[in-house]
Amino acid sequence: MAVSFKREIIGNGIGFSEITDPKFKTNSVRIQFNFPLNPETYHNNLVAGSILGCCNSKYPTIADFSKKLDKLYGAGIYSESGRYVDTQYIYTYMNTINDKFALEGEKLFDDTLDITFDCIFSPETENGAFESSVFNFKKKDALDSLEAEINDKRNYALIRACQIAYKGEISNLKEYSEKEGIEKVTAQSAYEQFQNMLKNSQIEVFYVGAEPNPELKEKIKSAFSYERNIPVCNYKSFSPVKPEPEYVTEKMKNVLQSKMVMVLKSECTDFFAINVLNAIFGGSTTSKLFSNVREKMSLCYYCASRYSQGKGSLLVDSGVEEQNIEKAETEIIRQFESIKNGDFTDEEIDNAVLFLVNAYNSISDTAGSLIAWYMKQVTEDEILSPAETAEKIKAVTRERIIDAAKSFTLDTVYVLTAEKEEN
């Protein structure tokens, strides 16, 4: 594999990661601002983050902006706000084809980078506020997205389960009065918060391309050379487990397939062992949940687990017929208990490790997956490549898997099911 990764701290505490591989036909740059989650500023940051990638002072409407990017052979610039554990972030992401594909020798990368910098440092404003038509559009988007959460029942069930499991915690956005908070955001408050955020955030930049770009590093250093405070961002916030599991059932009209989400919590920090545990339990097509709960017992249409490292939680989500909910819950717990008791074969361990290693080794094939990988790695104590992580996974032992399993406790069971019509 020819992927090269290099990270250094440049300028005023900016993490600059350069990932290169000659096979890529595109160049991608993600500029990310990280800062602590705070209900006072969350909503303004949310809306501001969505506006950045739409226009700037040189291309002040979405139409002008889109047209310019189309002229650059379909270059892409996007922006968004998100959350990772107790940290909120705003990022811009740009993507262009390599200059060598430009039919008239255009400098696609440099031009797109300049537009991206203008989005950050020279957004379209009026009287100290974001321009109103774009602001209104993006604010409506944020409100509509909130309302649309019920459209995807599987995802809705996960959101609700996490809301219950992480009650009272900083990362629980559902406690931030999302709708009311967004409604209060104005073009001015969002713009002012954005300016404040530029001066009070930790910056990570990720570049993926066919070859190194030393000019980019210097441009980043220069662009962010103004005075900044760098806040401490928290990327690990294990959720405390309740003394007894909490069971919540919600009914909704027109639900044909019930959804069940179970949250198990742990303070274990052997993340490699937990990843193998997850693959054995429910994170692959050879897992216990897939093979037994779905295939052999036909209790669920889907039944899978995933590990949320920052919160120290295993989430099991399943699509299940109403009459099978109780049986499915019992069987899922029984399968997990069997792992705690060491009831899994060496073959199951080998299969899980092979599955994970295959997945890690595929990460280097797209710019997007490489950026996602290293975005998470820079929040860890040690930055590992996918190949290095694969070696750590291969070294996990049966005992470590059992210890990891024993550290988990059931915390929450959430069920979404049909509201029966009254006769």
Partner 1 sequence: MEKQTIVSKLMGDSYFKIKHPSGLDILVCEMSGFSSTEALFGTRYGSINTMFKTKSDKDYTVVPEGIAHFLEHKLFENEDSDVFELYAKTGASANAFTSFDKTCYLFGCSENWQESLRILLSFVQSPYFTKESVAKEQGIIGQEINMCNDDPSWRVFFNMLRSMYHNHPVRIDIAGTIESIAQIDADLLYKCYNTFYNLHNMVLVIAGNVNVDEVLKIADEELKPCENIELETVFPDEPYEVAVKEIHENRPVGVPMFNIGIKCKPLNGYASVKAEMEADTVMNILCDTSSPLYKEMMDEGLINSTFGTEVFCGDGFFSLIFSGESDRPKEVMDRIFKEIEKAKTEGLDEEHFEIIKKSNYGHSIKKWNGPNYVANSLINSYFSGVSGFDAFEILSEMKYEDVQRCLCEMFDTENYVLSIIESGENG
Please report, as ranges, the residues that interact with partner 1 according to CB under 8 A: 1-2, 21-26, 61-64, 66-67, 69-75, 95-97, 101, 103, 133, 136-137, 140-141, 144-153, 252-257, 285-286, 290-291, 295, 298, 300-301, 319, 321, 351, 354-355, 357-362, 364-366
Element (H, E) at 79: strand 76-84
List Cα–Cα distances, 85 to 75, 131, 202, 297, 386, in angstroms: 31, 31, 15, 36, 22
Structure tokens at 241: 């487990």
Structure tokens at 155: 């995802």
Cα gap 398→310, rounded to integer Å? 24
Give me the least distance between CB of 372 and partner 1, in Å please: 14
How many Cα atoms are found within 13 Å in the side-chain-facing hemisphere of 7? 18
What are the residue ranges of helices labelled H in 148-259? 153-165, 178-184, 187-199, 214-223
Residue 252: helix, strand or coil by DSSP? strand
- Bridge partners (DSSP) of residue 8 are 16
Nearer to partner 1, 330 or 361 (CB): 361
Residue 173: helix, strand or coil by DSSP? helix
Give me the least distance between CB of 111 and partner 1, in Å please: 13
Which residue, among 327, 336, 328, has the nearest Cα to 307 in the 3D structure? 336
**382, amino acid identity:** E
Nearer to partner 1, 30 or 217 (CB): 30
Cα gap 120→130, rounded to integer Å? 12
List Cα–Cα distances, 297 to 44, 281, 301, 331, in angstroms: 48, 16, 10, 9
Give me the least distance between CB of 26 and partner 1, in Å please: 5
Give me the least distance between CB of 392 and partner 1, in Å please: 17
Determine phi and psi for 47, rounding to 5 degrees: -70, -45
Give me the least distance between CB of 47 and partner 1, in Å please: 13
Nearer to partner 1, 246 or 322 (CB): 322
Nearer to partner 1, 239 or 284 (CB): 284
Nearer to partner 1, 364 or 407 (CB): 364
Burial class (CB within 10 angstroms; exposed 0-12, middle 13-18, buried 19+) of 350? exposed
Nearer to partner 1, 129 or 210 (CB): 210
Nearer to partner 1, 203 or 332 (CB): 332
Nearer to partner 1, 21 or 86 (CB): 21
Cα gap 99→104, rounded to integer Å? 10
Strand duo 409-418 + 4-10: pairing: unpaired
Give me the least distance between CB of 397 and partner 1, in Å please: 19
Give me the least distance between CB of 154 and partner 1, in Å please: 8
Determine phi and psi for 157, rounding to 5 degrees: -65, -40
Give me the least distance between CB of 200 and partner 1, in Å please: 28
Give me the least distance between CB of 170 and partner 1, in Å please: 26
Nearer to partner 1, 310 or 319 (CB): 319
Q: Could you identify the residue written with the tokens 């404003």?
A: 125
